[in-house]
Amino acid sequence: MKRLFALAALVVATPVAAQQSEPFAPDCSAIAATLDGMVAEGRTVGASMLVYKDGEETCFAVAGDAERETNRPFTRDTLVQIFSMTKPVTGVALMQLWEQGRFRLDDPLEWHLPEYAETQVLVGETASGEAITRAPKRTITVRDVLRHTAGFSYGPWDEPQNAGDRIWERLDPLSADKTLAEFSAAMAQVPLLHDPGTHWSYSAGVDVQARLVEVLSGQPFADYVAEHIFAPLDMQDSAWQRDTADLPRLARIYVTQPEGSLAPMPREEWLEPNFMGKPMTMGGSGIVTTVDDYMRFARMLLGEGTLDGAQILRPATVRLMATDQLDPAIASENRSFLTGKGNGGFGFDVFVRTGPPLTPDEARGSVGEFYWDGFPSMLFWVDPLQDMAVVFATQKVDFDGTLHRDIRAAVYGADYIGR
């Protein structure tokens, strides 16, 4: 009996990473078959996937077309617009400056961007549609900006729903014709949706991070990232600024039609601003890259800040970014769509899995993994438990989470317990 109790105590005391029942290896044939099936079933036009595990490339698969109308195949060097997968890059840039002591995480935002000193919270509107506001119960901190708890808006998703949406539409903070300085000046005039720290609300806060990088570093945001992230990581195919010479390599975005088919989106509608020669360099979107280039960024995070001898961040900083930063007082009903991302919370610009999948329908993943995705159904994740990083590239809108669920099932298997 004493041996039984001792064995039970040993199991309880064993770290989660040591409780995985048997070695794990991604099924490359299942990944390839899944991509082929997605294309054959008309769920996307083209896609690729790259898996790096245990210090080496493990799987690469590709299917379908980058541009169906010209029979141009999706290839390993196809350029993709990653939209919100830009956000973790911006977070890394800002945390580099934190490591240098340029700011503290709990500094009031207004110390560094004075335009936010007078930002108000929306509490209602008058009969004529004018915003009713009040001062926030506490100031916005830089930590809030990093974890989407500042109360910022992203503007109306469809038609304006309130007076704050109408102010956003009038000021148009993220207009492609604005600089980041002009964006920030306009953004500070849009009422907050919530008091800081009370809700997780997806927002243009990462564009505020980009403006912080400019102010704290003294460099234009895109120049800072190119010098301090892209160059040391040898990400030669990654940039905001592109030109028409890149178009033959660029995948077209396809839009889901009411009956379920996929139609090409006109390039002039969805090319990111810098592709069109506009001044806006967003922190929350805009990078054009390849699966190999973005994998170098993901591998740096997997390596706790270092890749091939280039140290981008300290290990403790990566662990901080990949730790759930949300106060338990922020209830699930105050976390918007984050609860649909899986069993977890949010760090700095990444979702963080804090528990194994709760249902068979939840996307497979490991406790401690962190990830983010992008509007054209893009996805990357970093799984320290399995020493693995994955990049999945496709260009389909609206965002299709079922592609992510199925590709994760192909990588892990449907019964993966996540710890």
Distance (Å, whole) CA 183 – CA 188:
9
Distance (Å, whole) CA 64 – CA 45:
6
Q: Please report the pLDDT score of residue 160 as a whole number.
A: 73
Q: Is residue 362 part of a domain?
A: yes
> Considering the chain, what percentage of its residues have pLDDT values greater than 70?
93
Cα dist. 195→166, 198, 272, 292 in Å?
A: 19, 6, 31, 40
User: What's the average model confidence in pLDDT over 156-166?
Assistant: 85
Instruction: Give me the domain span that covers residue 337.
Output: 27-84+223-412
Q: Is residue 1 part of a domain?
A: no
CA-wise closest residue to 53 among 33, 25, 19: 25
Q: Please report the pLDDT score of residue 272 as a whole number.
A: 64
pLDDT tens-digit profile of 218-270? 999 999 999 999 999 999 999 997 777 888 999 999 999 999 999 999 877 76
CA end-to-end span of the chain, whole Å?
28
**For the chain, how many structural domains are there in total?**
2
Identify each DSSP E strand in 225-294 by its residue range: 254-256, 262-264, 288-289
Is residue 15 predicted with pLDDT exceeding 70? no
Looking at the structure, do residues 297 and 195 belong to the same domain, yes or no?
no
Looking at the structure, do residues 36 and 175 belong to the same domain, yes or no?
no
User: What's the average model confidence in pLDDT over 287-304?
Assistant: 98
Say which CATH number the domain at 361 has: 3.40.710.10
> In degrees to the nearest 10, what's the CA dihedral of 192, 198, 201, 203?
40
Looking at the structure, do residues 259 and 338 belong to the same domain, yes or no?
yes
- Show which of 195, 221, 247 is a domain's final residue: 221
Q: Is residue 360 part of a domain?
A: yes
Cα dist. 224→88, 97, 210 in Å?
A: 15, 11, 10
Q: Please report the pLDDT score of residue 270 as a whole number.
A: 63
- Show which of 168, 194, 221 is a domain's final residue: 221
Distance (Å, whole) CA 66 – CA 79:
9
Looking at the structure, do residues 230 and 361 belong to the same domain, yes or no?
yes
Helices 401-412, 28-40: axis angle to 10 degrees equals 150
Q: How many residues does the chain have?
A: 419
Confidence of residue 21 (pLDDT cuts 50, 70, 90): very low
- Show which of 166, 198, 221 is a domain's final residue: 221
**Amino acid present at 332:** S
CA-wise closest residue to 392 among 42, 147, 32: 32
Q: Report the mean per-residue pLDDT for the chain.
A: 92
Is residue 7 predicted with pLDDT exceeding 80? no
Looking at the structure, do residues 175 and 236 belong to the same domain, yes or no?
no
Q: Is residue 189 part of a domain?
A: yes
User: What's the average model confidence in pLDDT over 61-80?
Assistant: 97
Looking at the structure, do residues 280 and 138 belong to the same domain, yes or no?
no
